[in-house]
Protein backbone atom coordinates (compact mmCIF):
# COMPACT_ATOMS: atom_id res chain seq x y z
CA UNK A 1 0.00 0.00 0.00
CA UNK A 2 1.39 3.41 -0.95
CA UNK A 3 0.62 6.11 1.63
CA UNK A 4 1.96 9.35 0.24
CA UNK A 5 0.77 11.81 2.92
CA UNK A 6 -0.10 11.45 6.63
CA UNK A 7 -3.36 9.55 7.24
CA UNK A 8 -6.24 11.58 8.73
CA UNK A 9 -9.24 10.43 10.73
CA UNK A 10 -10.78 9.92 14.15
CA UNK A 11 -10.17 7.33 16.87
CA UNK A 12 -12.35 6.33 19.84
CA UNK A 13 -9.68 5.93 22.54
CA UNK A 14 -8.95 9.44 23.83
CA UNK A 15 -12.54 10.20 24.73
CA UNK A 16 -14.36 6.91 24.98
CA UNK A 17 -11.88 4.27 26.16
CA UNK A 18 -13.91 1.13 26.78
CA UNK A 19 -17.27 2.91 26.44
CA UNK A 20 -17.76 2.21 22.76
CA UNK A 21 -20.62 0.65 20.83
CA UNK A 22 -22.27 0.53 17.44
CA UNK A 23 -24.59 3.43 18.17
CA UNK A 24 -21.69 5.69 19.13
CA UNK A 25 -19.82 4.81 15.94
CA UNK A 26 -22.89 5.47 13.78
CA UNK A 27 -23.53 8.82 15.44
CA UNK A 28 -19.88 9.78 15.15
CA UNK A 29 -19.77 8.84 11.49
CA UNK A 30 -22.86 10.95 10.80
CA UNK A 31 -21.45 13.98 12.53
CA UNK A 32 -18.02 13.36 10.95
CA UNK A 33 -19.63 13.97 7.58
CA UNK A 34 -21.85 16.83 8.80
CA UNK A 35 -18.88 18.72 10.23
CA UNK A 36 -17.19 18.66 6.83
CA UNK A 37 -14.33 16.47 8.01
CA UNK A 38 -14.58 14.24 4.95
CA UNK A 39 -14.36 17.23 2.60
CA UNK A 40 -11.39 18.51 4.61
CA UNK A 41 -9.51 15.24 3.94
CA UNK A 42 -10.27 13.06 6.99
CA UNK A 43 -10.96 9.44 6.03
CA UNK A 44 -10.45 6.87 8.79
CA UNK A 45 -12.93 6.03 11.55
CA UNK A 46 -10.98 3.86 13.98
CA UNK A 47 -12.31 1.75 16.82
CA UNK A 48 -9.55 1.36 19.41
CA UNK A 49 -9.20 -1.18 22.24
CA UNK A 50 -12.15 -2.89 24.07
CA UNK A 51 -14.32 -3.83 21.08
CA UNK A 52 -14.16 -7.63 21.45
CA UNK A 53 -15.35 -10.35 23.78
CA UNK A 54 -12.89 -11.20 26.55
CA UNK A 55 -12.12 -14.60 24.98
CA UNK A 56 -11.80 -15.97 21.48
CA UNK A 57 -14.31 -18.38 19.97
CA UNK A 58 -13.40 -21.74 21.59
CA UNK A 59 -14.15 -23.63 18.39
CA UNK A 60 -12.66 -21.47 15.62
CA UNK A 61 -10.16 -19.46 17.70
CA UNK A 62 -11.48 -16.34 15.95
CA UNK A 63 -11.62 -13.04 17.76
CA UNK A 64 -15.26 -12.13 18.49
CA UNK A 65 -16.87 -8.72 18.58
CA UNK A 66 -18.55 -7.93 21.89
CA UNK A 67 -22.20 -8.99 21.55
CA UNK A 68 -23.23 -6.27 23.90
CA UNK A 69 -21.36 -3.40 22.23
CA UNK A 70 -21.57 -4.52 18.60
CA UNK A 71 -24.66 -6.76 18.41
CA UNK A 72 -24.66 -6.72 14.60
CA UNK A 73 -20.98 -7.57 14.27
CA UNK A 74 -18.19 -5.49 12.80
CA UNK A 75 -19.10 -5.99 9.14
CA UNK A 76 -22.29 -4.02 9.73
CA UNK A 77 -20.26 -1.17 11.24
CA UNK A 78 -17.74 -1.29 8.40
CA UNK A 79 -20.56 -1.20 5.84
CA UNK A 80 -22.03 1.90 7.48
CA UNK A 81 -18.64 3.64 7.48
CA UNK A 82 -18.08 2.72 3.83
CA UNK A 83 -21.56 3.91 2.79
CA UNK A 84 -20.54 7.36 4.00
CA UNK A 85 -17.44 7.35 1.82
CA UNK A 86 -15.09 6.73 4.74
CA UNK A 87 -12.64 4.01 5.72
CA UNK A 88 -12.91 1.70 8.69
CA UNK A 89 -10.14 1.09 11.23
CA UNK A 90 -9.77 -1.37 14.07
CA UNK A 91 -7.30 -2.24 16.79
CA UNK A 92 -5.34 -5.25 17.98
CA UNK A 93 -2.13 -5.95 19.85
CA UNK A 94 1.17 -7.74 19.23
CA UNK A 95 0.92 -9.45 22.63
CA UNK A 96 -1.40 -12.20 23.85
CA UNK A 97 -3.73 -9.61 25.38
CA UNK A 98 -4.38 -5.95 24.52
CA UNK A 99 -3.47 -3.11 26.87
CA UNK A 100 -7.00 -3.23 28.30
CA UNK A 101 -6.87 -7.04 28.63
CA UNK A 102 -8.84 -8.25 25.62
CA UNK A 103 -7.46 -10.97 23.30
CA UNK A 104 -4.34 -9.86 21.40
CA UNK A 105 -3.17 -11.24 18.07
CA UNK A 106 0.03 -13.02 19.10
CA UNK A 107 0.00 -16.50 17.57
CA UNK A 108 -3.18 -15.59 15.66
CA UNK A 109 -1.84 -12.91 13.32
CA UNK A 110 -2.79 -14.63 10.06
CA UNK A 111 -6.19 -15.73 11.31
CA UNK A 112 -6.97 -12.24 12.64
CA UNK A 113 -5.81 -10.47 9.49
CA UNK A 114 -8.17 -12.69 7.47
CA UNK A 115 -11.00 -11.95 9.90
CA UNK A 116 -10.38 -8.20 9.63
CA UNK A 117 -10.29 -8.46 5.84
CA UNK A 118 -13.62 -10.33 5.86
CA UNK A 119 -15.20 -7.59 7.95
CA UNK A 120 -14.01 -4.88 5.56
CA UNK A 121 -11.34 -3.31 7.75
CA UNK A 122 -9.09 -0.74 6.03
CA UNK A 123 -6.73 0.21 8.87
CA UNK A 124 -5.23 -1.69 11.79
CA UNK A 125 -3.69 -0.02 14.82
CA UNK A 126 -1.36 -2.57 16.40
CA UNK A 127 -0.39 -2.08 20.05
CA UNK A 128 2.44 -3.54 22.12
CA UNK A 129 1.15 -4.73 25.52
CA UNK A 130 1.44 -8.16 27.11
CA UNK A 131 4.06 -9.70 24.91
CA UNK A 132 6.83 -12.04 26.04
CA UNK A 133 10.18 -10.38 26.88
CA UNK A 134 11.90 -12.74 24.47
CA UNK A 135 9.76 -11.55 21.56
CA UNK A 136 11.38 -8.51 20.03
CA UNK A 137 9.34 -5.79 18.42
CA UNK A 138 10.66 -6.12 14.84
CA UNK A 139 9.77 -9.82 14.87
CA UNK A 140 6.26 -9.19 16.22
CA UNK A 141 5.48 -6.32 13.83
CA UNK A 142 6.83 -8.23 10.82
CA UNK A 143 4.48 -11.12 11.63
CA UNK A 144 1.39 -8.91 11.51
CA UNK A 145 2.86 -6.96 8.59
CA UNK A 146 3.08 -10.16 6.54
CA UNK A 147 -0.35 -11.30 7.72
CA UNK A 148 -1.88 -8.06 6.45
CA UNK A 149 0.02 -8.22 3.17
CA UNK A 150 -1.38 -11.67 2.48
CA UNK A 151 -4.92 -11.26 3.82
CA UNK A 152 -6.47 -10.27 0.50
CA UNK A 153 -7.40 -6.69 1.42
CA UNK A 154 -5.48 -3.42 1.47
CA UNK A 155 -5.21 -2.66 5.18
CA UNK A 156 -3.12 0.26 6.40
CA UNK A 157 -0.80 -0.95 9.15
CA UNK A 158 -0.48 1.52 12.03
CA UNK A 159 2.20 0.33 14.47
CA UNK A 160 2.04 1.44 18.08
CA UNK A 161 5.04 0.46 20.22
CA UNK A 162 5.35 3.96 21.72
CA UNK A 163 8.73 4.84 20.20
CA UNK A 164 10.59 2.05 22.04
CA UNK A 165 13.38 -0.24 20.80
CA UNK A 166 14.68 2.32 18.27
CA UNK A 167 11.53 1.68 16.25
CA UNK A 168 12.53 4.23 13.55
CA UNK A 169 15.51 2.05 12.61
CA UNK A 170 13.44 -1.00 11.58
CA UNK A 171 9.75 -0.07 11.30
CA UNK A 172 9.91 0.30 7.50
CA UNK A 173 10.87 -3.39 7.28
CA UNK A 174 7.39 -4.33 8.52
CA UNK A 175 5.24 -2.56 5.94
CA UNK A 176 3.74 -0.17 8.53
CA UNK A 177 2.58 3.14 7.05
CA UNK A 178 2.71 4.99 10.35
CA UNK A 179 4.20 4.20 13.74
CA UNK A 180 3.88 5.73 17.18
CA UNK A 181 7.08 7.60 17.93
CA UNK A 182 5.94 8.74 21.40
CA UNK A 183 4.25 7.49 24.55
CA UNK A 184 0.54 8.10 25.18
CA UNK A 185 -0.88 11.60 25.06
CA UNK A 186 -3.01 13.13 27.83
CA UNK A 187 -5.20 16.16 27.47
CA UNK A 188 -2.98 18.75 29.13
CA UNK A 189 -0.45 21.32 27.94
CA UNK A 190 2.61 19.56 29.37
CA UNK A 191 1.82 16.26 27.66
CA UNK A 192 1.28 17.98 24.31
CA UNK A 193 4.46 20.04 24.75
CA UNK A 194 6.53 16.96 25.65
CA UNK A 195 5.32 15.12 22.58
CA UNK A 196 5.78 18.06 20.20
CA UNK A 197 9.25 18.93 21.49
CA UNK A 198 10.27 15.29 21.84
CA UNK A 199 9.73 14.87 18.10
CA UNK A 200 12.17 17.58 17.05
CA UNK A 201 15.20 15.26 16.86
CA UNK A 202 13.10 12.54 15.21
CA UNK A 203 11.62 14.48 12.30
CA UNK A 204 14.17 13.00 9.89
CA UNK A 205 12.51 9.59 10.33
CA UNK A 206 9.10 10.64 9.03
CA UNK A 207 8.50 10.33 5.29
CA UNK A 208 6.03 8.95 2.73
CA UNK A 209 4.92 5.39 3.44
CA UNK A 210 5.85 5.59 7.11
CA UNK A 211 5.00 8.64 9.18
CA UNK A 212 5.94 9.43 12.77
CA UNK A 213 2.68 9.16 14.70
CA UNK A 214 2.51 11.66 17.57
CA UNK A 215 -0.67 9.98 18.92
CA UNK A 216 -4.30 10.92 18.52
CA UNK A 217 -5.01 14.59 19.11
CA UNK A 218 -6.74 15.83 22.23
CA UNK A 219 -7.93 18.97 20.40
CA UNK A 220 -11.48 19.78 21.51
CA UNK A 221 -11.58 17.45 24.52
CA UNK A 222 -11.39 20.25 27.11
CA UNK A 223 -10.56 17.73 29.82
CA UNK A 224 -13.46 15.35 29.10
CA UNK A 225 -13.15 11.63 28.54
CA UNK A 226 -10.72 8.78 28.89
CA UNK A 227 -7.41 10.70 28.66
CA UNK A 228 -9.15 13.92 29.74
CA UNK A 229 -6.64 15.00 32.40
CA UNK A 230 -6.77 18.74 33.18
CA UNK A 231 -7.62 19.76 29.61
CA UNK A 232 -6.16 22.50 27.41
CA UNK A 233 -7.26 26.00 26.45
CA UNK A 234 -8.40 26.82 22.93
CA UNK A 235 -5.04 28.53 22.21
CA UNK A 236 -3.20 25.42 23.37
CA UNK A 237 -5.30 23.34 20.98
CA UNK A 238 -4.35 25.72 18.19
CA UNK A 239 -0.71 25.02 19.08
CA UNK A 240 -1.34 21.30 19.09
CA UNK A 241 -3.15 21.22 15.77
CA UNK A 242 -0.52 23.47 14.17
CA UNK A 243 2.36 21.34 15.47
CA UNK A 244 0.83 18.07 14.26
CA UNK A 245 0.21 19.67 10.84
CA UNK A 246 3.66 21.21 10.47
CA UNK A 247 5.57 18.24 11.88
CA UNK A 248 3.79 16.08 9.27
CA UNK A 249 2.13 13.68 11.73
CA UNK A 250 -1.06 11.70 11.07
CA UNK A 251 -4.07 13.78 12.13
CA UNK A 252 -6.27 11.40 14.11
CA UNK A 253 -8.80 13.40 16.10
CA UNK A 254 -9.79 12.08 19.52
CA UNK A 255 -12.54 14.31 20.90
CA UNK A 256 -16.28 13.60 21.01
CA UNK A 257 -17.24 14.75 17.52
CA UNK A 258 -20.87 15.09 18.58
CA UNK A 259 -19.92 17.81 21.05
CA UNK A 260 -17.33 19.66 18.99
CA UNK A 261 -17.63 23.44 19.37
CA UNK A 262 -17.84 25.57 16.20
CA UNK A 263 -14.44 27.14 16.83
CA UNK A 264 -12.78 23.71 17.21
CA UNK A 265 -14.57 22.51 14.06
CA UNK A 266 -13.20 25.55 12.25
CA UNK A 267 -9.69 24.83 13.54
CA UNK A 268 -9.59 21.16 12.55
CA UNK A 269 -10.97 21.91 9.09
CA UNK A 270 -8.58 24.82 8.49
CA UNK A 271 -7.71 24.11 4.84
CA UNK A 272 -4.46 26.05 4.96
CA UNK A 273 -3.11 24.14 7.96
CA UNK A 274 -4.21 20.82 6.48
CA UNK A 275 -2.55 21.73 3.17
CA UNK A 276 0.75 21.99 5.01
CA UNK A 277 0.22 18.60 6.67
CA UNK A 278 -0.70 17.06 3.32
CA UNK A 279 1.83 18.95 1.19
CA UNK A 280 2.81 16.68 -1.73
CA UNK A 281 6.53 17.36 -1.33
CA UNK A 282 6.42 15.82 2.18
CA UNK A 283 9.67 17.62 3.01
CA UNK A 284 11.31 17.15 6.40
CA UNK A 285 10.52 20.00 8.80
CA UNK A 286 13.51 21.58 10.53
CA UNK A 287 14.11 23.57 13.68
CA UNK A 288 15.72 27.01 13.34
CA UNK A 289 17.26 29.48 15.77
CA UNK A 290 16.22 30.74 18.25
CA UNK A 291 14.15 27.59 18.45
CA UNK A 292 17.25 25.49 18.88
CA UNK A 293 16.35 22.16 20.37
CA UNK A 294 16.01 22.51 24.10
CA UNK A 295 14.55 26.03 24.06
CA UNK A 296 10.87 26.56 24.87
CA UNK A 297 10.55 28.98 21.97
CA UNK A 298 10.48 26.72 18.97
CA UNK A 299 10.59 27.77 15.33
CA UNK A 300 10.00 25.08 12.75
CA UNK A 301 10.15 25.59 9.00
CA UNK A 302 9.45 23.38 6.02
CA UNK A 303 9.76 23.81 2.27
CA UNK A 304 6.52 23.25 0.36
CA UNK A 305 5.73 22.17 -3.15
CA UNK A 306 5.67 25.08 -5.57
CA UNK A 307 8.30 27.14 -3.75
CA UNK A 308 6.46 28.36 -0.63
CA UNK A 309 7.79 27.96 2.86
CA UNK A 310 5.86 27.07 6.02
CA UNK A 311 7.07 28.69 9.23
CA UNK A 312 5.60 28.03 12.68
CA UNK A 313 6.62 29.97 15.78
CA UNK A 314 5.65 28.15 18.97
CA UNK A 315 5.91 29.69 22.42
CA UNK A 316 5.89 26.70 24.78
CA UNK A 317 7.30 28.87 27.60
CA UNK A 318 5.48 30.50 30.51
CA UNK A 319 6.20 34.09 29.36
CA UNK A 320 5.05 36.28 26.49
CA UNK A 321 8.02 36.58 24.15
CA UNK A 322 9.24 38.29 21.00
CA UNK A 323 11.01 36.20 18.46
CA UNK A 324 13.29 37.39 15.67
CA UNK A 325 14.03 35.17 12.70
CA UNK A 326 16.90 35.88 10.34
CA UNK A 327 16.01 34.97 6.77
CA UNK A 328 19.45 33.46 6.31
CA UNK A 329 18.41 30.74 8.78
CA UNK A 330 15.83 29.76 6.15
CA UNK A 331 18.43 29.57 3.41
CA UNK A 332 17.74 33.13 2.26
CA UNK A 333 20.86 35.24 2.80
CA UNK A 334 20.82 39.00 2.09
CA UNK A 335 22.32 38.49 -1.38
CA UNK A 336 19.33 36.33 -2.39
CA UNK A 337 17.47 39.67 -2.75
CA UNK A 338 14.33 37.91 -1.52
CA UNK A 339 11.98 38.54 1.35
CA UNK A 340 8.84 36.85 2.62
CA UNK A 341 5.21 37.66 2.00
CA UNK A 342 3.85 36.04 5.14
CA UNK A 343 0.27 34.77 5.16
CA UNK A 344 -0.88 34.13 8.73
CA UNK A 345 -2.89 30.88 8.51
CA UNK A 346 -4.84 31.56 11.69
CA UNK A 347 -5.76 35.24 11.39
CA UNK A 348 -5.76 35.47 7.59
CA UNK A 349 -3.55 38.59 7.69
CA UNK A 350 -0.61 39.10 5.35
CA UNK A 351 2.59 40.90 6.38
CA UNK A 352 5.96 41.43 4.72
CA UNK A 353 9.25 40.48 6.30
CA UNK A 354 12.30 42.70 6.08
CA UNK A 355 15.05 41.76 3.66
CA UNK A 356 17.06 40.14 6.42
CA UNK A 357 14.69 39.39 9.28
CA UNK A 358 11.24 39.51 10.81
CA UNK A 359 10.18 39.91 14.43
CA UNK A 360 6.89 38.81 15.98
CA UNK A 361 5.44 38.90 19.49
CA UNK A 362 4.11 35.53 20.64
CA UNK A 363 2.07 35.31 23.84
CA UNK A 364 2.84 32.33 26.06
CA UNK A 365 1.21 29.02 25.07
CA UNK A 366 0.44 30.25 21.56
CA UNK A 367 1.63 29.94 18.00
CA UNK A 368 1.97 31.88 14.75
CA UNK A 369 1.68 29.79 11.61
CA UNK A 370 2.70 31.29 8.28
CA UNK A 371 2.72 30.21 4.69
CA UNK A 372 5.39 32.38 3.08
CA UNK A 373 5.92 33.36 -0.54
CA UNK A 374 9.40 34.34 -1.63
CA UNK A 375 9.15 37.76 -3.31
CA UNK A 376 11.75 40.27 -4.58
CA UNK A 377 13.12 42.42 -1.77
CA UNK A 378 13.37 45.51 -3.97
C1 LIG B 1 -2.03 1.91 24.52
C2 LIG B 1 -1.98 2.82 23.30
C3 LIG B 1 -3.17 3.75 23.31
C4 LIG B 1 -4.47 2.96 23.35
C5 LIG B 1 -4.47 2.01 24.53
C6 LIG B 1 -5.64 1.05 24.48
O7 LIG B 1 -1.83 2.61 25.70
O8 LIG B 1 -0.78 3.52 23.24
O9 LIG B 1 -3.13 4.61 22.19
O10 LIG B 1 -4.60 2.25 22.14
O11 LIG B 1 -3.28 1.24 24.58
O12 LIG B 1 -5.65 0.17 25.57
Distance in angstroms (rounded) separating the CA atoms of residues 146 and 259: 39
Backbone angles phi, psi at 42, to 5 degrees: -75, 140
Distance in angstroms (rounded) separating the CA atoms of residues 4 and 313: 26
Mean pLDDT by 10 residues, the chain (378 residues): 97 98 98 98 99 98 98 98 98 98 98 98 98 90 98 98 97 98 98 96 97 98 98 98 98 98 98 98 89 78 98 95 93 97 98 96 97 95
For residue 151, count CB atoms less than 10 angstroms from its CB and return exposed for 0-12, middle for 13-18, buried for 19 or more. Answer: buried
How many alpha carbons fall within 13 Å on the CB side of residue 281?
15
pLDDT digits (tens, 9 = 90+) for 86-133: 999 999 999 999 999 999 999 999 999 999 999 999 999 999 999 988
For residue 133, count CB atoms less than 10 angstroms from its CB and return exposed for 0-12, middle for 13-18, buried for 19 or more. Answer: exposed
Tell which residue, 322, 300, 331, has the closest CA to residue 313. Answer: 300
pLDDT at 272: 98
Among protein residues, the one whose CA lies closest to atom 3 of ligand 1: 184
pLDDT at 132: 83
pLDDT at 175: 98
Question: Does any ligand 1 atom lie closer than 6 A to the CB of residue 213?
Answer: no
pLDDT digits (tens, 9 = 90+) for 51-97: 999 999 999 999 999 999 999 999 999 999 999 999 999 999 999 99
Instruction: Quote the ligand 1 centre to 275 CA distance (angstroms).
Output: 28
Instruction: Quote the ligand 1 centre to 128 CA distance (angstroms).
Output: 9
Best residue among 10, 18, 48 to mutate for probing ligand 1's pocket (most ligand atoms within 8 Å of CB) is: 48
The reported pTM is: 0.98
C-alpha dist (Å) from residue 49 to 20, 125, 174: 9, 9, 22
Amino acid sequence: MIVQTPPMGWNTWNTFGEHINEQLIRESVDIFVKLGLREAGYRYVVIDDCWSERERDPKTDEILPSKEKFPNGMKAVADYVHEKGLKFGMYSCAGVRTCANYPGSFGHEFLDAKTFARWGVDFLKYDYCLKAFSDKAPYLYRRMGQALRTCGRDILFSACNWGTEDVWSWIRTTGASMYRSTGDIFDNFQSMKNIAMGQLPKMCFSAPNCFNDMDMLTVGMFGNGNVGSSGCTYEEYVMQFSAWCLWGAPIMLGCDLRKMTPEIAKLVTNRDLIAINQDPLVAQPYCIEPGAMGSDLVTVARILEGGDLAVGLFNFSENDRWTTILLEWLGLPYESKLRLEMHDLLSGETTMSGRDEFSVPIPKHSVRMYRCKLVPAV
